Amino acid sequence: MADTKPNLVIGVARGYDYPMLRPIVASLKKTGFAGDFVIMYNDLHDHAEVPLAADGALLFPFSPAFPHTDGPLALPERWLKEPRLHNLHIYAYRRIVEYAYLHAYGHKYNYVYLTDTRDVYFQRDPFDFERPNAVCVFLEEKKNLIKDTPANVEWITETFGEKILHEIEHNPVANAGTICMGPIPLVLEYLEVYLSVLARYGTPLTTDQAVHNYILYEKLFTKVHAYPHNTGPILNLTPDFRIAHGMIQNVNGGTPNTVHMYDRYIRTAWGRAGWDFVAKLIWRKGPQRWYMSARLFIGNLVKRYLLRRTNV
């Protein structure tokens, strides 16, 4: 008999207003997704909770101070005694917040997707694919080996040291923005390993991406199905993407259910999030990155115009 429990999308949002979160909520709703979308939130601006709830999101507050959640979402007692869990950055402790929700309410769900919030856009129901009985993880480009990406080198070295870096540096980066998707029991098991790693190695500079790659490549958790870049239900967007029939496609012409980092390119952000979102991104990210993206976008428009004139 098929499991009739709903699926769950869960993410953490801190310091955003409604226009920054509207794209993920609206796009998920548009797919016809019938499960729950939970946003664990702190310090949302301009009463963003009101329109988010009206859009169907389920909202649960958390605190920047450990243990971050209480009441029904209180962490199990054993984690409260771990001193290294007390002073983490949100880039590490956001998974603790998600774990707290899953520990309390995971029994209500079938499959779960742990995701970023601001930079994710849904094109189809995120669970509309042949789902393995494993935790799905999503790799970046093969040219993005850990050793070739300074940020990942720094994050891994900071938490685990150079010895561990050298052991895993020849692997492609496993992206932590779309960290994982899987059956509730397996994702909870993965998160237990994640918290155990933080309890042993965590520092205020630890990131979830460093921990995620350490767990995968040191084989601390092996019930995994890894999707190479440009395959699978989630696309970590890179400049070689395509757009066809209004849908973002990977370089192979496949249409992913979910697009991560779509906000890095004007061509994808403009048509999916609105000018208020784009303006806020320019303010948050700085002009240089968007200048390069705008120049690429305008250059492509000019090329198309010249090509059409040539073919007339």
Euclidean distance between CA atoms 122 and 11, whole angstroms: 14
Contacts for 245-254 with beta carbons within 8 Å, 24 or more apart?
246/271, 247/123, 248/121, 248/123, 254/230
Q: What is the mean pLDDT of the chain?
A: 90
| pLDDT at residue 127, rounded to an integer | 98
Rounded average pLDDT over 275-283: 60
Q: Measured between alpha carbons, how far apart are the two ends of the chain, in Å?
A: 60
Cβ neighbours, 10 Å, residue 145 = 16
Euclidean distance between CA atoms 100 and 104, whole angstroms: 6
The structure tokens 């199905």 sit at 225
The percentage of residues in the chain with a pLDDT greater than 90, rounded to a whole number, is: 77
Q: Does this model's pTM top 0.85?
A: yes
Euclidean distance between CA atoms 99 and 190, whole angstroms: 10
Strands 258-260 and 120-122: antiparallel
Domain edges within the chain: 8-227
Instruction: In the chain, count H helices and then E strands.
Output: 10, 12
| pLDDT tens figures, 200-220 | 999 999 999 999 999 999 999
> Which residues make beta-bridge pairs with 11?
39, 115
Q: How many CA atoms lie within 13 A of 293 on its CB side?
A: 20
Residue 287 and residue 279 in contact, taking contact as beta carbons nearer than 8 Å: no
Going across the sheet that includes 234-236, the strands are 120-122, 258-260, 234-236
Euclidean distance between CA atoms 268 and 248, whole angstroms: 8
| pLDDT at residue 9, rounded to an integer | 98
Strands 36-42 and 8-14: parallel
Angle at 218 between CA 216 and CA 221, to 5 degrees: 50
Going across the sheet that includes 180-183, the strands are 58-61, 36-42, 8-14, 111-115, 180-183, 135-138, 224-227
Q: Distances from the Cα of 181 to the Cαs of 66, 110, 218, in angstroms?
A: 25, 11, 20
The percentage of residues in the chain with a pLDDT greater than 70, rounded to a whole number, is: 86
Rounded average pLDDT over 244-254: 92
| pLDDT tens figures, 66-108 | 999 999 999 999 999 999 999 999 999 999 999 999 999 999 9
Euclidean distance between CA atoms 292 and 195, whole angstroms: 39
Residue 126 and residue 182 in contact, taking contact as beta carbons nearer than 8 Å: no
| pLDDT tens figures, 11-34 | 999 999 998 999 999 999 999 999
Name the CATH topology of 8-227: Spore Coat Polysaccharide Biosynthesis Protein SpsA; Chain A (3.90.550)
- Local confidence band at 310 (pLDDT 50, 70, 90 cut-offs): low
| pLDDT at residue 288, rounded to an integer | 47
Residue 110 and residue 3 in contact, taking contact as beta carbons nearer than 8 Å: yes
For residue 162, pLDDT over 50 is answered with: yes
